[in-house]
Structure 1
Amino acid sequence: MSKDSNKGGFGDLMHSMNEFFHERPMKGMLQSIDEFFTSSANPFGSFPVELSEADDHYLVTAELPGVNREQIQLDVFPQYITISVTHKEIYSEENEKHQTIRRKQSMRKSSRTVSFPRTVNEKNVKASYKDGLLSVKVNKESGKRIQIE
């Protein structure tokens, strides 16, 4: 048995796996899964969140189309931020005499937690919400450099 014939086994397997995941049915399924988790209609209530970094602060943005400001809750801690969105739906059905015959209320809460690479000052946070885009600016915690005697 030559060295080359043994080497091809694993390489061929990897090539086959790579083709499998990039062919249309599987690629379509993986793309559908991605779209499902980023769409606003999914039952798990996930929403896209992005963290960017500047010299003195972090900027967390979340896409929340169709969400009212009152539905959003922010919890900021030294190591992470949690963005929660609460959806309440009240459905009531009345008869001809305007008496409520059926009433249904449902509540769904979705949240995302983003960890900060470095500790932040959770007391100095600014948040704004406009046109379905939530922006949260969180200042980094500045340490103290000391001289060694």
Structure 2
Amino acid sequence: MSNLTKRYDPFDELFRGFFVRPVDFGQGREAPELRVDVKENDNAYEVHAELPGVNKEDIHVDIDGAVVAISAERKQEKEIKEGERVLRTERYFGKVSRSFQLAQEIDENQTVARYNNGVLELTLPKKTAVQARRITIQ
């Protein structure tokens, strides 16, 4: 009897599944994460949050002590021209939000917010720490 063996073909492995890919038509799609970078210096925190495609009027920042909450809404434009049909849409429309706590409370009155090229930049000055005092007992 002869043993039959399959010859190894590297192209077989390379192209396996190449032409057959699962297609997601947006069913069950979750909201994308709001990506945030936080840096600290002696006087303030610097926050950069990616919010591409969002109008600055649809961004809200709330500060409560040391907790910072960022929320935004991206609205879908319903502009379909006559004779045009949508074949696929992958862009996310809806609300995203993120909150995080910093190590020190924020001075809300000195906070600066800028929105440029899809990036929200926050400068969050730290509140000056109240020094503990020793009370003399009479």
- Name the TM tier (shorter chain): 0.5 to 0.7
State the TM-score, normalized to the length of structure 2: 0.60
Question: Which structure has the higher relative contact order (CA within 8 Å, separation 6+)?
Answer: 2
Q: How many equivalent pairs are there?
A: 99
What residue in structure 2 maps to residue 113 of structure 1? 99
Aligned-pair distance for 1:89?
2.3
What secondary structure is seen at the aligned counterpart in 2 of 1:120? coil
Aligned-pair distance for 1:45?
2.9
Is 1:77 equivalent to 2:64 in the alignment? yes
What secondary structure is seen at the aligned counterpart in 1 of 2:107? strand
Pair 76,146 (structure 1): closer, same or farther in 2 beyond 3 Å: closer
What residue in structure 1 maps to residue 126 of structure 2? 140
Q: Which has the higher strand share?
A: 1
What secondary structure is seen at the aligned counterpart in 2 of 1:123? helix
Aligned-pair distance for 1:132?
1.3
Alignment of 1:60-99 (within 5 A): 60-89=47-76, 91=78
Pair 91,147 (structure 1): closer, same or farther in 2 beyond 3 Å: closer
Q: Compare CA radii of gyration and give the structure with the larger one.
A: 2
What residue in structure 2 maps to residue 37 of structure 1? none
CA distance in 2, matches of 1:109, 1:137: 23
Given the alignment, which residue of 106, 112, 125 partners 2:111? 125
Task: Tell me, yes or no, if the aligned pair for 1:79 and 1:118 is still in contact at 8 Å.
Answer: yes
What residue in structure 2 maps to residue 3 of structure 1? none
